[in-house]
A and B are shown apart, each in its own frame.
Chain A
Amino acid sequence: MSSAMKIHVHHVTRVEGHGNIVVNASNGKVEKVEWQVPEAPRFFEAMVRGHSYQDIQTIVSRICGICSITHSLAATKAVENALGIEVSEQADAVRILMHYSEQLQSHVLHIGYLAAPDFFGVPSVVPLAAKAGEAVKTVIRLHRLANEWSDLIAGRTTHPVTLTPGGLTRIPTEQQFRDLQQRLKDCVKDLNAVVEVVLSVAGVIPRFERPTEYVSLRQDNPATYTFYHGQIASTDCDGTVPINDWKTVANEYVCDQSTSKWCKWHRDAYAVGALARFNNNADLLSPMAKEVAKRFGLKKGCTNPFMNTVAQLVEVGHVVETSIRMIDGLLTKGLKQEKVKAKPKRAGKASGCVEAPRGILFHEYEFDKKGRCLSADICIPTGQNHANIQKDFEALVPQILHEGQDAVRHKLEMLVRSYDPCISCSTHALEVTFV
């Protein structure tokens, strides 16, 4: 077939922020394949300079309207690490529950509203509401549960207000925890319904394998499928890297085709996100999550990036089941009213790390002895995935070129969406000085 192909998808829809797809090909030969990120930098790292350690998490939560709890938690952990502030066991557990609410919120949003239209072959969730109304209503119910769960623990659906260095300003009552636990038990029926719906259309998930490095947190003691504690792990090496050394993992560099920095570690690219967590920690999933993985045939070592959405579905089962158990643990010990009086014990510089729904997230801050922020550095998961998306493009396009322009464009859009990217969070494209 002799033909020229020019694809320029300006601003992929249904991803967070802006990204462009460029493919030029002629006579069956690929001339150019690029994943471009033209999103403007947002300078959050400059914005926090001079602010008190008590205000950092509030400011950086605004980096994202989807994973605001995650950004707040990473920042709070970094502040505490830098200034020697301790957190009680109870506050730690409640924070993890807060974090789980956002995993559910974000994953359901991605699976139900952003990826499902691809599975059903419709352009967005609006026509999907007409085509599969009951399924959409189930997704909305789960999303609402996740939002109200965040409301309860974080004080607000997005942009948490209860989080503070040293703990939490308020925790739910015993009755509120019991009610939440009951709602989580009740939602299992809806979760199973979503699994059935996705299984019924799973045949449209492209079969594409490209071995790469998968990077995520790993927690060994106690061994946990972690989103919150632990060290940095990779499928390319044994052992772990301490959080404060994250720059030896991310190795950020500037790339001409993107305003966001790119990352690489043992290879020319690595992937983060649900599939990375699964590939590093799958044996630690809850029974329900393992069952979901089994039904989709998802196994540790999977190298199909399109399966990230399925890994998210697996994690949805995990966070719900684990939260039910954690609430039991909290209530058995008895809730204590704790007053937080955190003061800086020293000047310092340190990092905080958590798993955002879309992958591992690093925050680093330096403070003077009064707790005033001197500098900040944030490395977000989507930034870490950009190079990997580019490498996927380079491998996938030659395999599917014969399918024609529309199919190539659609599969590349699907591929980008499968990473659940949050491009607008790619915060620090350039370092500039104003003269």
Chain B
Amino acid sequence: MRRPIVVLGLGNPLMGDEGVGVALVQDLARRAADYPAADFVDAGTGGLSVLHQMDGRTKAILVDCALMGEAPGTIRRFTPDQVASIKSLSGLSGHEGDLVRIVAMARALGQCPNEVVFLGIEPEVVAPGRTLSDGVAGRWPEYMRQILAELTCT
């Protein structure tokens, strides 16, 4: 039986802050025993595979590096209905998966959780490298608090 909540961390850990979502779920997975209602999944750059992780859940929390025009390090909560994708390569290739449209597709197929929440983190550095920038790493407790606050279903 699937746990009702899934926290999906997306990104590429070899591209600096691009991998922040993955780093956060890896950190959370270490204390997974404290949160029996949730699965913490490193979704990497899996694109459409996100569909499979959302199916059969009540709530999905998608944590990803996001270009939102905010100050670097800022975390913002939003729902699919509050945003429009402006990604230019949005033909839904397996690689260039557009999360917003993947959620739309899950809805069209009746395989979408009732509640989908994005937690976007504005990057400081997206470039080859295996570490997070200070501007992002320095706000870790805030990110963790915000994710953990989502681990209830409305």
Residues of A within 8 A of B (CB): 11-18, 42-43, 47, 59, 62, 64-66, 68, 106, 109-110, 113-114, 123-126, 129-130, 133, 136-137, 140, 143-144, 147-148, 156-159, 422, 424
Mask for B72-102, Cβ within 8 A of A = 1, else 0? 0000000000000000111111111000010
Decide if A143 touches B105 in the complex (CB within 8 Å).
no
Mask for B48-84, Cβ within 8 A of A = 1, else 0? 1101100100000000000000000000000000000
The smallest beta-carbon distance between B124 and chain A, in angstroms, is 20
Decide if B128 touches A147 in the complex (CB within 8 Å).
no
The smallest beta-carbon distance between B12 and chain A, in angstroms, is 6
Decide if B91 touches A62 in the complex (CB within 8 Å).
no
Decide if B14 touches A157 in the complex (CB within 8 Å).
no
Q: How far is the CA of A359 from the CA of B90 in the complex (A)?
A: 25
Quick one: given A14-B91, A113-B94, are A140 and B52 in contact (CB under 8 Å)? yes
Of A62, A66, A133, the residue contacting B14 (CB under 8 A) is: A62
Of B44, B95, B101, the residue contacting A157 (CB under 8 A) is: B44
Decide if A109 touches B94 in the complex (CB within 8 Å).
yes
Decide if A13 touches B91 in the complex (CB within 8 Å).
yes
The smallest beta-carbon distance between B78 and chain A, in angstroms, is 20
Residues in B with CB closer than 8 Å to A15 are 93
Q: List 14 A-B contacts (CB under 8 A).
A: A13-B93, A14-B91, A14-B93, A47-B128, A62-B13, A65-B46, A110-B94, A114-B93, A126-B105, A136-B109, A137-B111, A143-B52, A157-B46, A158-B44
Nearest residue (CB) in A for B22 is: A159
Of B45, B49, B96, B104, the residue contacting A147 (CB under 8 A) is: B49
Q: How far is the CA of A17 from the CA of B91 in the complex (A)?
A: 11
Is B108 an interface residue when CB atoms closer than 8 A count as contact? yes
**Chain B contact residues: helix, strand, loop or mixed:** loop
Q: How far is the CA of A147 from the CA of B47 in the complex (A)?
A: 12
The smallest beta-carbon distance between B94 and chain A, in angstroms, is 5
Using a Cβ–Cβ cut-off of 8 Å, how many residues does chain B contribute to the interface with A? 30
Decide if A147 touches B94 in the complex (CB within 8 Å).
no
The smallest beta-carbon distance between B36 and chain A, in angstroms, is 20
Of A12, A64, A124, A137, the residue contacting B92 (CB under 8 A) is: A124
Apart from A11-B88, A113-B94, list 13 A-B contacts with CB within 8 A. A43-B128, A59-B14, A65-B12, A65-B47, A109-B94, A114-B93, A124-B91, A126-B92, A133-B109, A140-B52, A143-B49, A157-B44, A157-B46
Quick one: given A126-B104, A158-B49, are A113 and B111 in contact (CB under 8 Å)? no
Q: How far is the CA of A195 from the CA of B112 in the complex (A)?
A: 27
Taking CB atoms and an 8 Å cut-off, the chain B residues in 18-55 that contact chain A are 42-49, 51-52, 55
Decide if A113 touches B109 in the complex (CB within 8 Å).
no
Q: How far is the CA of A62 from the CA of B81 in the complex (A)?
A: 31
Residues in B with CB closer than 8 Å to A68 are 44
Nearest residue (CB) in A for B109 is: A129
Residues in A with CB closer than 8 Å to B101 are 124, 126
Decide if B95 touches A16 in the complex (CB within 8 Å).
yes
Nearest residue (CB) in A for B12 is: A62
Residues in B with CB closer than 8 Å to A12 are 91
Q: How far is the CA of A157 from the CA of B43 in the complex (A)?
A: 8
The smallest beta-carbon distance between A431 and chain B, in angstroms, is 17
The smallest beta-carbon distance between A365 and chain B, in angstroms, is 18
Nearest residue (CB) in B for A413 is: B91
Residues in B with CB closer than 8 Å to A11 are 88-89
Q: How far is the CA of A376 from the CA of B10 in the complex (A)?
A: 28
Residues in A with CB closer than 8 Å to B89 are 11, 13, 18
Residues in B with CB closer than 8 Å to A157 are 43-44, 46, 49
Residues in B with CB closer than 8 Å to A124 are 91-92, 101
Q: How far is the CA of A109 from the CA of B88 in the complex (A)?
A: 21
Residues in A with CB closer than 8 Å to B44 are 65, 68, 156-159
Q: How far is the CA of A129 from the CA of B89 in the complex (A)?
A: 20
Nearest residue (CB) in A for B88 is: A11
Q: How far is the CA of A146 from the CA of B45 in the complex (A)?
A: 16
Nearest residue (CB) in B for A68 is: B44
Residues in B with CB closer than 8 Å to A17 are 95-96
Q: How far is the CA of A133 from the CA of B106 in the complex (A)?
A: 11
Quick one: given A113-B48, A144-B52, are A129 and B93 in contact (CB under 8 Å)? no
Q: How far is the CA of A159 from the CA of B42 in the complex (A)?
A: 10
Residues in B with CB closer than 8 Å to A110 are 94
Which of B13, B14, B47, B104 has most chain A Cβ within 10 Å?
B14
Residues in A with CB closer than 8 Å to B91 are 12-14, 123-124
Nearest residue (CB) in A for B90 is: A13
The smallest beta-carbon distance between A155 and chain B, in angstroms, is 11
The smallest beta-carbon distance between A121 and chain B, in angstroms, is 15
The smallest beta-carbon distance between B85 and chain A, in angstroms, is 11
The smallest beta-carbon distance between B149 and chain A, in angstroms, is 27
Nearest residue (CB) in B for A129 is: B108
Residues in A with CB closer than 8 Å to B47 are 65
Residues in A with CB closer than 8 Å to B92 are 13-14, 113, 124-126
Q: How far is the CA of A135 from the CA of B141 in the complex (A)?
A: 44
Decide if A66 touches B105 in the complex (CB within 8 Å).
no
Mask for B110-154, Cβ within 8 A of A = 1, else 0? 010000000000000000100000000000000000000000000
Q: How far is the CA of A109 from the CA of B52 in the complex (A)?
A: 13
The smallest beta-carbon distance between A399 and chain B, in angstroms, is 26
Residues in A with CB closer than 8 Å to B48 are 109, 113, 143
Decide if B94 touches A16 in the complex (CB within 8 Å).
yes
Decide if B94 touches A66 in the complex (CB within 8 Å).
yes
